[in-house]
Amino acid sequence: MNKPKMASEKGVPSNSSLLMLLDQIERMNGEAMLRDAELARHVTAKILHLIQTQEKSGREIMSKGSGMEVILASLENCRDVQTTLNILYILTELLSVGRGHRVEVFISKGGTGILFQILISASKESPPSVELMLQLHSLLAKVGPKDRRFGVKARLSGALNVTVNLIKQNLQNTKLLLPCLHVLRVYSSNLVNAMSLGKIEGVELMFKIIGPYSKKNTSLLKVALDALGALLKSKTNARRAVDGGYVAVLLALYQDWHRNDTRCRHILIRKGLLVCLRNVTNIKLGRKAFIDADGMRILLNSSTECLPVRTLDPLVNTSSLIMRKCFPKNRLPLPTIKSAFHFQLPHIPAGGPVAQLYSHPPGVDDVVDDSDDNEEAEADTDTENDEDEKDNCMLNDDIETDLNKLYPKRSLCRPFEDLKVYERFFLELSEDFQGYTLKGPKSTNSMPSSASPSSLSASARSPRPVTVPSAQTQPPNDIPIPSSQEDRSSTKGHGTQPSSSALTSTPSPPLTPLDLDNIHLSKGKKEEASSPSDGDRVIEKELVSPFECVSLEEKEDLNADASERVRQEGSPINATRHIQSPLLLGGIPTLRVGSGGSNLGSDCGSEGADEEGGEGAVLEVPDTARLLPLHNPDLYVEMVKETCSVPQYAEVAYPDYFGHVAPTFKEPLLERLYGVQRSKIFQDIERLIHPNDILDKVVYDLDIPNCPLVKDEGESLKFNSQFESGNLRKAIRVRKYEYDLVLNADINSNHYHQWFYFEVSGMRVGVTYRFNIINCEKSNSQFNYGMQVLMYSVQEAISGRPCWVRTGTDICYYKNYFARSSIAAGGQKGKSYYTLTFSTSFSHKDDVCYFAYHYPYTFSTLKMHLSKLEDLRTPQIYLRQDVLCETLGGNHCPLLTITAMPESKSSNHIYQFRNRPLIFLSARVHPGETNASWVMKGTLEFLMGTSTLAASLREAYIFKIVPMLNPDGVINGNHRCSLSGEDLNRQWQSPNPELHPTIYHTKSLLQYLAHIQRAPLVFCDYHGHSRKKNVFMYGCSLKETVWQSNISATSSDLQEDLGYRSLPKILSEIAPAFSMASSSFVVERSKESTARVVVWREIGVQRSYTMESTLCGCDQGKYKGYQIGTRELEEMGAQFCVALLRLKRLIGFRNHQHGWDLDNDVITIPAKTVSSPTTYVMEEDEPSFLEAIDYSAESNDEDAEPENELADEAQENLDQLSD
């Protein structure tokens, strides 16, 4: 019968015979129906016949408003079994047609309650009519899923007992049993009903129905398993099943069906058995019973056999989830989850995170929680490689809804007298330049004396002995060794020159440095309108000029007599300089030469430096200065000596010493192989099943104070992380070529594990090693979407390729079996750590390699770069370096001022100089976001460049730059915090001058500017983003926040200049990596204390931004499909500068046009359109990850999981929300 549309039910003639029969039966209701039962049977039979034979009859009943009411009233008043059956047949026919609307009408008229009344009445008959029970349960099974109060109605009417008793009495009556089980399944969806059914032996009853493999009654068995699975969601019923020994029964049945269902025709039955196991293992007793019944081995073996068949993925997924859930939760193999290092704060605020951290006695800070609360959520479908966007943005409860907080209001709480001390950082605002020669050469002191990085260090601080990298092998005898005096070259970046015999006497022309002056700006779009003036037209022409590719190749080859240089892509240099190693800095012998346990010597378990890294050893240092004008190894060592670290590092990592030359080739996103994560999870499960195969040997441990490198005579790799920005706490060899790695928590903290940077040596060539970082905390990662770790090979560097490269195969990121302490998880129980696993092989014997989360950029590197920036200064550049403050760790926080010198000393030029708009930039408040420093490097190099664009930019603005807001965190290898154990980007509202000095004084600078009516035109804080691609911005907008929150506001309340969108819009046009679609301008409650919001709200800066750069890569533009590198990051920093120049043109053009709002013209957005909705975010100001991952099997957790788990994750990371 065709299903009619509801529209066709209108206009049915009212004089039909069916309606006459309905009128007749309506008049018979009550006593008449009891007196004349035969007539009632006859009328109802005729109605049934008409409905069965005429399609329009059903529409006629539903079209008449009282048709369903008449039938239900007759059913309620009928006492005759046959008449009741006829009416039930009528209802069955009616409700079997349509798309659910008729069922909804039936429910709205009270039909469900009437059915339960008849069921109770019929159950009192002895014996009850089997046919009547069959029809009643068939109708209830059809209606139940649509009725939200079905379970409550069933419980209150007493229908639960009736159905259970009926099942008990008819276990062999398949025809009646099937609808009864359907109804029981609907009953059990209500948790209270499930508990009630368990008390009347509903669970035991289901186990009497399900049985071993059989080709008969498979539909019945499927429904019984669904009902049992629903019953076992109740923990009480799950305990009852465990006590009855039914876990072993379920495993035996699953084995039987798996073994016999060779053609995979009964996947739903096998899945039903697994769902029952999944639910019963939600309790601790169930997990123990599962382990005792050898469930891990059974499911692992069956899942392994199912892997080749993709249609069996639902079984593998559910099996994987059960095994992971039942895997015994372990605590991390650490004596304490607190950081291995401790820093004593000047004072510990009561109730703060550090006070809470140290209020717990030893041994209770990492307690494994065995409760049954907050169990892992399940996801039954495999969503691997499924990156469909799931937009839960509109459900964001974090959006600020208080209009009073959304209006930017300058809140200058500090009196101006307190802020006057900061006047010394703004000498350019009062400088008259009368004592300077503006056009003279650099040596004529055309600038106020600026503080070099050496002066940024404490003058009284004595340099520490620092171990620099040494050679692995002895040099050829014919290579002369420079004198020690040459080794100790000037700290101004001159470096040790190559010996005359190492190269020919003809000097090589210098290589072209990385040039950020010329950058791609148009992204293939139309050019900007020309500016009013002729001079501006020249600049504008440059603004839209095509990108000149930067080549790292030499412009001229070295003399052929020097050496035959092998040119290959990504290997731009082979010229090396030879220096004697080790360098005895400050006359103090080094404690350790080379790397941890490598052939370079060690103070821990090695024979000493005399064998291979001794006095006569020569290190071939690649001459990276030829391509990296801002890098000098000797100067870097001097900077390290002046850097204060909590562990008092005395070593220098090779990559930081040699430097990094960006490869000329692009590195594509790694394609994710199907099933890779599942295979890794199964390998973890094999550890439990075959414990004797696990070596479990500690090879590196920072908790051993004086000797972290554990002596090992075997073939173990050797690890080290005792250098600036290093982070690796422990390394455990678990299999021959597999290692578990544990990261160190941020100092004065017990969490924030994500950043890593460590050294590996002692490897074998051609062997694939697997590394598992087992205590990551974020619930998702771009490592699941093509991101790779970074590796730096010393052998490659010596061979002329000193660069970080993306590496690793079989990369995945998943929840593991190491339990997070509720103390470290904000009080939540049942949380787990996550594993980042990757495999790699090594190409060189006796190599020393480094692995990092992202391209490292240390504080000493910054100081070296700032020192080298001095060399780029021309007489036309105003550059001043100040010490903003001293950090908790005793390091100096640099503050830069960059602009153009005035054209002359005339009052007009001086006035123009002083009144240039200010741009305030900052970066690296989160130490683990190293990409922010590379973007800042690009910005600084562009500002100090010689191009017309750079000169115009300096003439347009005064730049105040704090390039590293958290030096202590960077130095000590933290991921997010400073030495105070707090996220500094959560302290902007009320920074403490002792605990948060860099934030306190940076905010004071901005408050001073606001007081003197010189608030910056733009404030931008550079950040990195770990779970999104591209580069994008977060800003602050009253209108867009109101639109997203749906709060009521009048148009007068929403007056706002759209200028905040102009800078991101410009970037979207000129920067290939920038994505306007990923940007957001919504203000959230959790961000009230971030730099972006505080500067917008309190300082009154409309264009206050966070610029986020991906750690992974891009999914749009010309970089689509590629991982991001330092070249692209530095380019982004330069493009930000050009966008500022365009912004200046726009603002000037707007003013020239007497108030024409060119910002709005450039934006061209329709009303109430938001480019990218802001979502409830976790950890790094990260909107909800938009690429679905199923962590239950292939990758489950963030967006593929049910809402309750999302809520748990949101609550778990509430204190970590940030820009």
Distance in angstroms (rounded) separating the CA atoms of residues 888 and 348: 13
Calculate the dihedral angle through the C-alpha atoms of 242, 243, 248, 250, rounding to the nearest 10 degrees.
-60
Q: Residue 460: pLDDT band by 50, 70, 90 thresholds?
A: very low
Q: Residue 637: pLDDT band by 50, 70, 90 thresholds?
A: very high
Distance in angstroms (rounded) separating the CA atoms of residues 140 and 134: 10
Among 720, 784, 828, 1213, residue whose Cα is nearest residue 1028:
784
Task: Give the model confidence (pLDDT) of 812-871 as tens digits.
Answer: 999 998 988 877 766 677 789 999 999 999 999 989 999 999 999 999 999 999 999 998
**Predicted pLDDT at 349:** 78
Q: Residue 363: pLDDT band by 50, 70, 90 thresholds?
A: low
Cα 424 from chain centroid? 41
Upstream peptide bond of 582 is cis (omega within 30 degrees of 0): yes
Q: Residue 1149: pLDDT band by 50, 70, 90 thresholds?
A: low
**Predicted pLDDT at 532:** 41
Number of helices (H) and strands (E), helices first, in the chain?
A: 42, 20
Distance in angstroms (rounded) separating the CA atoms of residues 717 and 842: 12
Q: Residue 491: pLDDT band by 50, 70, 90 thresholds?
A: very low
**Predicted pLDDT at 531:** 41
Q: Region 256-271: what's the mean pLDDT?
A: 94
Distance in angstroms (rounded) separating the CA atoms of residues 902 and 876: 8
| 14 contacts: CB under 8 Å, gap ≥ 6 | 64
The position carrying tokens 């590195």 is: 667
**Predicted pLDDT at 399:** 66
Distance in angstroms (rounded) separating the CA atoms of residues 1140 and 535: 17
Highest mean pLDDT, choosing among 24-28, 121-125, 203-207, 600-604: 203-207
Distance in angstroms (rounded) separating the CA atoms of residues 835 and 1065: 38
Q: How many CB atoms lie within 10 A of CB 612?
A: 21
| 7 contacts: CB under 8 Å, gap ≥ 6 | none
Which comes out higher in pLDDT, residue 371 or 1047?
A: 1047
Q: How many CB atoms lie within 10 A of CB 367?
A: 14
Distance in angstroms (rounded) separating the CA atoms of residues 897 and 428: 9
Torsion 498-501-502-508 (CA) sign = positive
Strands 918-923 and 1018-1025, sheet pairing: parallel
Torsion 380-384-389-391 (CA) sign = positive
Distance in angstroms (rounded) separating the CA atoms of residues 1034 and 1106: 5
Q: Which token pair is 1041?
A: 């926040």
Task: Give the model confidence (pLDDT) of 943-988 as tens digits.
Answer: 999 999 999 999 999 999 999 999 999 999 999 999 999 999 999 9
Distance in angstroms (rounded) separating the CA atoms of residues 74 and 686: 65
Half-sphere exposure of 373 (CA within 13 A, CB side): 8
Is 622 in a helix, a strand, or coil? strand
Q: Where are the alpha helices (DSSP H) in 690-822?
A: 794-798
Half-sphere exposure of 392 (CA within 13 A, CB side): 21
Task: Give the model confidence (pLDDT) of 514-554 as tens digits.
Answer: 455 555 444 544 333 334 445 444 444 444 443 333 222 33
**Predicted pLDDT at 70:** 86
What percent of the chain is predicted at pLDDT more than 70? 71
Which comes out higher in pLDDT, residue 555 or 419?
A: 419
Residue 606: pLDDT above 70? no
Distance in angstroms (rounded) separating the CA atoms of residues 481 and 479: 6
Distance in angstroms (rounded) separating the CA atoms of residues 738 and 732: 9
Residue 10: pLDDT above 80? no
Q: How far is CA 1089 from CA 746, 1003, 1017, in A?
A: 21, 12, 21
Distance in angstroms (rounded) separating the CA atoms of residues 1132 and 655: 23
In which element (H, E) is residue 154 found? helix 150-157
Distance in angstroms (rounded) separating the CA atoms of residues 238 and 244: 10
Residue 379: pLDDT above 80? no
Residue 1096 DSSP label: I
CA angle 1163, 1168, 1173 (to 5 degrees): 85
Buried b / exposed e over 1061-1087, threshold 16 CB at 10 Å, is: bbbbbbbbbbbbbbbbebbbbbbbebb
Q: What are phi and psi of 1217, to 5 degrees?
A: -65, 130
Which comes out higher in pLDDT, residue 144 or 583?
A: 144
Cα 596 from chain centroid? 31
Q: How many CB atoms lie within 10 A of CB 279?
A: 23
Calculate the dihedral angle through the C-alpha atoms of 734, 739, 743, 744, rounding to the nearest 10 degrees.
60
Distance in angstroms (rounded) separating the CA atoms of residues 299 and 286: 15
Q: What is the pTM of this model?
A: 0.79
Distance in angstroms (rounded) separating the CA atoms of residues 165 and 956: 87
Distance in angstroms (rounded) separating the CA atoms of residues 1106 and 1063: 12
Q: Region 766-777: what's the mean pLDDT?
A: 95
Distance in angstroms (rounded) separating the CA atoms of residues 1035 and 472: 51
Is 793 in a helix, a strand, or coil? strand
Among 339, 342, 452, 344, residue whose Cα is nearest residue 888:
344
Q: Which token pair is 757?
A: 């940077």
Distance in angstroms (rounded) separating the CA atoms of residues 1194 and 1190: 6
Among 611, 632, 635, residue whose Cα is nearest residue 621:
632
Task: Give the model confidence (pLDDT) of 388-417 as tens digits.
Answer: 333 344 445 666 556 566 666 666 667 888
Distance in angstroms (rounded) separating the CA atoms of residues 1050 and 1041: 14
Mean pLDDT score of the chain: 78
Cα 35 from chain centroid? 74
**Predicted pLDDT at 926:** 97
Q: Residue 251: pLDDT band by 50, 70, 90 thresholds?
A: very high
* Partners of 1110 in beta bridges: 1025
* Partners of 851 in beta bridges: 758, 791
Residue 477: pLDDT above 90? no
Residues constituting the chain:
1219
Distance in angstroms (rounded) separating the CA atoms of residues 176 and 166: 9
1096 within 8 A of 1065, measured Cβ to Cβ: no
Among 579, 767, 762, 753, residue whose Cα is nearest residue 657:
579
Supply the residues annotated as catalytic. 1108
Among 617, 663, 660, residue whose Cα is nearest residue 469:
617
Q: What are phi and psi of 908, to 5 degrees?
A: -65, -45
Distance in angstroms (rounded) separating the CA atoms of residues 450 and 1190: 55
Is 478 in a helix, a strand, or coil? coil
Q: Which token pair is 726?
A: 């290093």
Cα 485 from chain centroid? 49
In which element (H, E) is residue 733 found? strand 730-735
Residue 1158: pLDDT above 50? no
Q: Region 665-679: what's the mean pLDDT?
A: 91
**Predicted pLDDT at 434:** 75
Q: Region 691-706: what's the mean pLDDT?
A: 90
Task: Give the model confidence (pLDDT) of 718-744 as tens digits.
Answer: 999 999 999 999 999 999 999 999 999
Among 87, 82, 77, 80, residue whose Cα is nearest residue 21:
87
* Partners of 1018 in beta bridges: 919, 1103
CA angle 667, 669, 670 (to 5 degrees): 110
Lowest-pLDDT choice from 54-63, 210-219, 239-248, 301-310 = 54-63
Is 731 in a helix, a strand, or coil? strand
**Predicted pLDDT at 949:** 95
Q: Region 409-426: what's the mean pLDDT?
A: 83
* Partners of 769 in beta bridges: 840
Distance in angstroms (rounded) separating the CA atoms of residues 20 and 186: 37
Which comes out higher in pLDDT, residue 360 or 387?
A: 360
Q: Residue 509: pLDDT band by 50, 70, 90 thresholds?
A: very low
Task: Give the model confidence (pLDDT) of 316-337 as tens digits.
Answer: 999 999 998 898 888 899 998 8
Q: What are phi and psi of 896, to 5 degrees?
A: -110, 145
**Predicted pLDDT at 364:** 55
DSSP 854-906: S----HHHHHHHHHHHHHH--TTEEEEEEEEEE-TTS-EEEEEEEEEPPSSSS
